[in-house]
């Protein structure tokens, strides 16, 4: 009679969850569902590990200094750690369609020294590979199930092929059109600006090497009175160099109305390094009349986008006096009209100012103020009179020679300086 004892023993082992018992053969655990991406045809005991999304083989290879290496994997913009470890490392991960961030650490700060990461799907396609080049930490975004990118169709950098949003959307700045130019001034201006996401403009400065439409941001400036010169420049020192910074910005200045602009000046490389500088001089006829609105366009050479420091520096003159024009400033008239100087305009006054163009009421006619006694000579009588009122602080003070409202050491010095002087009245 045939014995069913072996089958019964095997069944009891499975029911009891035993891997070996009564001499039964050991079971192989794994995913037993052929629809899963990690199906194991040799498994006879399902362990609940079946993956129906993306079976990703993550490998961290060895480098020269594995003891310095560590890493973490998490969903982008999420704090939960999906996996972490050291080098070398190899494991099969079941990942959803999403963007992931791999954070790579190096305790010495010199990079992974030959170690590398790789993400490979079930078909054997390497989805991403790379390394940590230097520093204590770096991050990389990995797209699983498709491309990571901007999925907002209203953004400048919308990616129609992206299947997962990585938070990189860039939107056009408010001043990417001439009609919406940012108003600058009226005084000295320095600010950090960006042309990232700006629309390409049809207005191209004559100094542009490539002559192509660029990503332009716009600014406006009202020409003030008495403007001698205006300098517009970009500067790398305000923001620095590196990723996200413009290294070769371009500037242009325009007049007339938006839509019908006329170039006044443009520059590509006259500033520091590849930066730009435009200098306009009133005396060379380069600055329009006061009250005129000028437009300033800023972009990056050959489509470059990023941030940069923009500076406006101006030099204003003073109003001058001309008998034909009155008190006004006319650009380019230096040498024709005299400087506007206030002072005593009476030649017989003690404090007559031969350079004054307008009397300010300051003339005085007592040319010997240290003669306190009124005897026509600065002598001991005046010194004694002065000492008698020294420290007077309630005007009028008889000894207040310099007319500052008090009798103090400065008045004493004036008296001593005129000592023994015979006054002429």
Q: Each residue of 182-210: pLDDT tens digit?
A: 999 777 888 889 998 888 887 777 766 55
In this prediction, residues 122-139 reach a mean pLDDT of 95
- Considering the domain architecture, whether residues 41 and 62 belong to the same structural domain is answered as no
Bridge partners of 60, per DSSP, are 89, 117
Q: Is residue 31 domain-resident?
A: yes
pLDDT band at 25 (very low <50, low <70, confident <90, very high): low
- Considering the domain architecture, whether residues 245 and 201 belong to the same structural domain is answered as yes
For residue 67, give both structure tokens.
Answer: 């003891």
- Considering the domain architecture, whether residues 115 and 217 belong to the same structural domain is answered as no
Residue ending a domain, choose from 141, 165, 189:
165
The mean-pLDDT minimum among 174-188, 301-315, 405-419 falls in 405-419
In this prediction, residues 276-300 reach a mean pLDDT of 88
The mean-pLDDT minimum among 19-28, 185-194, 295-304 falls in 19-28
Instruction: Provide the residue range defining the domain that includes 112.
Output: 54-150+160-165
pLDDT score of 364 more than 70: no
Residue ending a domain, choose from 165, 192, 226:
165
CA–CA distance, 78 with 81 (Å, rounded to integer): 8
- Averaged pLDDT score across all residues of the chain: 83
The mean-pLDDT minimum among 102-111, 201-210, 233-242, 266-275 falls in 233-242
- Of 362, 314, 364, 365, nearest to 341 (Cα)? 362
Q: Is residue 335 domain-resident?
A: no
Asked whether 62 and 90 are in contact (CB, 8 A), the reply is: no
Q: SS3 letters for 276-311? A: CEEEEEHHHCCCCCCCCEEEEEEEEHHHCCCEEEEE
pLDDT score of 2 more than 50: no
CA–CA distance, 268 with 209 (Å, rounded to integer): 8
**CATH number, position 243:** 2.60.120.380
Q: Which residue has the higher pLDDT, 315 or 49?
A: 49
Q: Is residue 114 domain-resident?
A: yes
Kind plus residue range of the DSSP H or E element containing 59:
strand 54-60
pLDDT score of 6 more than 90: no
- Of 78, 87, 103, 93, nearest to 144 (Cα)? 93
The crossing angle, in degrees rounded to 10, of helices 409-417 and 380-388 is 170
Say what the pTM is. Answer: 0.51
Q: Is residue 42 domain-resident?
A: yes
- Considering the domain architecture, whether residues 136 and 248 belong to the same structural domain is answered as no
Q: Is residue 332 domain-resident?
A: no
Asked whether 98 and 77 are in contact (CB, 8 A), the reply is: no
Beta strand 69-75 pairing with 81-85:
antiparallel
- Considering the domain architecture, whether residues 40 and 130 belong to the same structural domain is answered as no
- Considering the domain architecture, whether residues 301 and 196 belong to the same structural domain is answered as yes
pLDDT digits over 64-80, tens only?
A: 999 999 999 999 989 99
How many domains, in total, are found in the chain? Answer: 4
- Considering the domain architecture, whether residues 197 and 241 belong to the same structural domain is answered as yes
Q: Is residue 235 domain-resident?
A: yes
Residue 137 has a pLDDT of 95
Phi, psi of 178 (to 5 degrees): -60, -40
In this prediction, residues 43-59 reach a mean pLDDT of 94
Please tell me which of 42-56, 318-332, 410-424 the model is most confident about, judged by mean pLDDT.
42-56
Q: Is residue 36 domain-resident?
A: yes
Q: Is residue 274 domain-resident?
A: yes
- Considering the domain architecture, whether residues 21 and 94 belong to the same structural domain is answered as no
- Considering the domain architecture, whether residues 415 and 311 belong to the same structural domain is answered as no
In this prediction, residues 334-356 reach a mean pLDDT of 68
- Considering the domain architecture, whether residues 190 and 305 belong to the same structural domain is answered as yes
pLDDT band at 34 (very low <50, low <70, confident <90, very high): very high
Residue ending a domain, choose from 165, 200, 223:
165
pLDDT band at 374 (very low <50, low <70, confident <90, very high): confident
Please tell me which of 110-119, 157-166, 233-242 the model is most confident about, judged by mean pLDDT.
110-119
**CATH number, position 102:** 2.60.40
- Considering the domain architecture, whether residues 77 and 118 belong to the same structural domain is answered as yes
CA–CA distance, 390 with 379 (Å, rounded to integer): 17
% the chain with pLDDT above 90: 41
Residue 1 has a pLDDT of 44
- Considering the domain architecture, whether residues 191 and 309 belong to the same structural domain is answered as yes
């Amino acid at each position: 009679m045939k014995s069913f004892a072996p089958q019964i023993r095997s069944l009891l082992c499975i029911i009891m969850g035993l891997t070996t018992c009564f001499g039964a053969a050991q079971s192989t655990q794994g995913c037993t569902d052929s629809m899963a991406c990690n199906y194991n045809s040799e498994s006879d005991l399902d362990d609940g590990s079946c993956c129906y999304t993306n079976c990703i083989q993550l490998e961290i290879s060895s480098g020269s200094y594995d003891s310095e290496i560590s890493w973490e994997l998490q969903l982008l913009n999420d704090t939960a750690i999906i996996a972490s470890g050291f080098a070398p490392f190899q494991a099969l991960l079941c990942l959803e369609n999403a963007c992931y961030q791999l954070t790579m650490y190096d305790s010495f700060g010199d990079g992974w020294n030959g170690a590398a990461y790789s993400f490979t799907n079930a078909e054997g396609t390497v989805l991403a590979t790379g390394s940590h080049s230097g520093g204590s930490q770096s991050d990389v975004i990995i797209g699983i199930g498709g491309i990571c990118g901007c999925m907002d169709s209203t953004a400048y950098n919308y990616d129609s092929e992206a299947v997962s949003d990585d938070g990189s959307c860039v939107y056009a700045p408010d001043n990417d059109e001439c009609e919406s130019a940012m108003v600058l001034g009226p005084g000295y201006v320095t600010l950090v600006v960006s042309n990232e996401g700006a629309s390409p403009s049809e207005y191209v400065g004559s100094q542009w090497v490539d002559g192509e439409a660029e990503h332009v941001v716009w600014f406006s400036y009202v020409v003030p009175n008495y403007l001698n010169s205006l300098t517009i420049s970009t500067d790398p020192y305000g923001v620095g160099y590196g990723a996200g910074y413009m290294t070769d910005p371009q500037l242009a200045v325009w007049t007339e109305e938006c839509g019908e602009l006329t170039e006044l000046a443009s520059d590509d490389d006259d500033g520091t390094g590849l930066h730009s500088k435009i200098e306009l001089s009133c005396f060379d006829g380069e600055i329009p009349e006061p009250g005129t609105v000028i437009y300033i366009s800023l972009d990056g050479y050959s489509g470059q986008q990023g941030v940069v420091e923009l500076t406006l520096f101006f030099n204003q003159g003073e109003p001058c006096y001309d008998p034909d024009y009155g008190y006004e400033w006319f650009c380019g008239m230096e040498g024709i009209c005299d400087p506007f100087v206030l002072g005593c305009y009476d030649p017989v006054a003690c404090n007559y100012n031969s350079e004054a163009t307008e009397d300010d009421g300051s003339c005085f006619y007592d040319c010997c103020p240290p003669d306190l006694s009124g005897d026509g000579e600065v002598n001991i009588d005046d010194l004694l009179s002065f000492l008698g009122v020294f420290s007077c602080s309630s005007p009028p003070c008889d000894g207040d020679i310099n007319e500052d409202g008090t009798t103090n050491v400065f008045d004493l010095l004036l008296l001593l300086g005129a000592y023994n002087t015979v006054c002429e009245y």
